[in-house]
Amino acid sequence: MLIFAAALLGALHLGAAALPPRIPLPVLFGNPVKANPLISPDGKRLAYLAPDEKNVLQVWVQTIGRDDARQVTRDPKRGIQIHMWAYAPDTLLYLQDHDGDENFHIYAVDVKSDKIRDLTPYPNVQAQIVGLDRHYPDELLAALNRRDPRVHDVYRISLKRHEVKLDTESPGDVLGWQADPQFRIRAAQTALPDGGMEVRYRADETSPWRTVVRWGPDDADGRVVDFTADGKSLWLISSEGRNTTALVKRNLATGQETVAAADPRADVTDPHEDVGGVIVNPLSHQVEAVSFEWERVAWMVVDPKVAADLTALKRGAPGDFTVTSRDRDLKKWVVSYTNDTRSRAYYLYDRSTKQLTHLFDSRPALAKYRLAPMKPVVIHSRDGLDLVSYLTLPVGVEPKNLPMLLDVHGGPWGRDSWGYNPEVQWLANRGYAVLQVNFRASTGFGKKFLHAGDREWAGKMHNDLIDAVHWAALKGVADPMRIGIYGESYGGYAALVGAAFTPDVFACAIDGSGPSNLVTLLKSIPPYWEPMKRMLAVRVGDVEKEPQFLESRSPLFKADQIRIPLLIVQGANDPRVKTAEAEQIVAAVRNAGKPMEYLLFPDEGHGLVRPANRLKFYAAAEVFLARYLSAPAGEGKG
């Protein structure tokens, strides 16, 4: 019924006859048909995600070149998101939490017997995979906050004997661990009291830790990539002495550092993004290539041995590529491509022939619909910053005076990228212009841009969004009376800020998992975020010393200024942004008699994972947007 109502309103107000055929919500937001294929170490099989008969994402295994796919996991409800091959024969690993609580367990699957074992069967403990090594196929290094919920120690887990032994105890300030070529924990990234970061190393497991490099708060987004093969140097991502992060090699004994790859405009692509990254040869421990992203992903060759391969991949298929897995001998690669007008596509690359073989598209049903191109644009902020942004316009209608959604990314220490985005295509297909802005504090554009956002939540970070809205209106693309703001996590917070701080700019707002009170947010962070508290104090504000400042940047304390309709979405088990963040502003707005819709999902965490929940939200959002943005020009705020 909700979908029908949205379709009716869209037809009345957006001139649906001029738009392409409507893409059904399940095609965009239901489970993919197949996704995330990974090649087995022996190069003979693929493991990928696909729904079972109950529409729950499971891991499936298929022999390359054969039609013998079979399901090897049996997750009952939530669906699996993260999986990988172990080097032990016929062994797959996957992570799963309980209804979004982020206390992930590591499971092992014997793909011959289909036997599944929980390797970390500890309640209220979060497991993180630290590393696997081809030379130690029976072993897994994992970080668990089993001893102390605030810190993750490293455990060595035997895949054969199911033994879990403490390997390295955290001193309390470690953010991440790195094993050396002998699969020993010999490096750690640690948080400093000033909000900076230190990289430490040790000669062996019994030696004392020593400092490799100490980065101040401005350079704290550096990270360890790997050891060199001899264990005497570290590959690092570092912005020390430059504005953007670069790939460097640092000698552990002398501290001498050489730059292997850098771009003056863009950082090395964050490993948590879906595009680009750093390609390391696991045999030689040589970095082979690294990507940078300004408007689009661009690869830089570090090892000439892969130059011909990257050239072949760049030419092989449309879009920006990422190497997602390789077999043990590095002869066969699985490569994914993102394209703005096609769902993610996966290919098998043969190094000997330099040929790509198409495996599958994640959502093949989209091929029969006309998708909207995404155009990179650079918008100038009022104080002169270049905001790399992406504008997507609906197909089939004149790109003038359109209703528009400002779609704000989360983090805020993340970024929007060019490529296929289901939310963007949904909105454009319904007739909305969509603007995505990499506001200050977004990552990928150098540390000056990143730290221009320090202590600017609801300040200059929000000004960047407002400047982008004004740009779209001045360009004639957006009807200034029909602009909405939407986002999740930090983007949800930005939507609340838009409603409370600048209610005259927006006609409506949708908040997904966004904090409403920065004081209660920072006081309720998960215990294992303890090492990051000082960084949060530097970048957001000090909750102990300046609660009044944080309250001044919190939408909850300006709820009386909210005049536009709100839709708020929250997962009941969210460990990052607790349910109270939604419910306190819901209560404030309702008490003031303002229009408010609230969706609480009891089986979700930070973001919606289950397809039924996603479809319920997007159906409700579609009706909400049609009601408040699709009126004739000049009537959007009625």
Catalytic residues: 489, 574, 606
Q: Phi/psi zone of residue 56: left (φ > 0), alpha (ψ -120 to 50 degrees), beta? A: beta
Return the bridge partners of 210, or none.
201
Q: In angstroms, how far is CA 581 from the centroid of its own chain?
A: 22
> Do residues 457 and 517 lie in contact, with contact meaning Cβ atoms separated by under 8 Å?
no
Q: 567 — phi, psi (to 5°)? A: -120, 120
CA-derived radius of gyration, the chain: 24
Label the pairing between strands 402-408 and 386-392.
Answer: unpaired
Return the bridge partners of 356, or none.
349
**Number of C-beta neighbours around residue 193 at 10 A:** 7
Sheet containing 105-110, strands listed edge to edge, beginning at the edge strand earlier in sequence: 82-85, 91-96, 105-110, 115-118
Fill in the amino acid letter for 152: H
Tell me how long the chain is. Answer: 638
SS3 at position 392: strand
Q: Pick the closest to residue 334 from 615, 637, 36 (CA basis).
A: 36
Q: In angstroms, how far is CA 222 from the centroid of its own chain?
A: 18
Q: Pick the closest to residue 420 from 21, 35, 113, 70 (CA basis).
A: 35
Question: Tokens 């949904």 — which residue?
Answer: 426
Sheet containing 566-571, strands listed edge to edge, beginning at the edge strand earlier in sequence: 374-380, 386-392, 433-437, 402-408, 478-488, 508-512, 566-571, 596-601
> Do residues 319 and 356 lie in contact, with contact meaning Cβ atoms separated by under 8 Å?
no
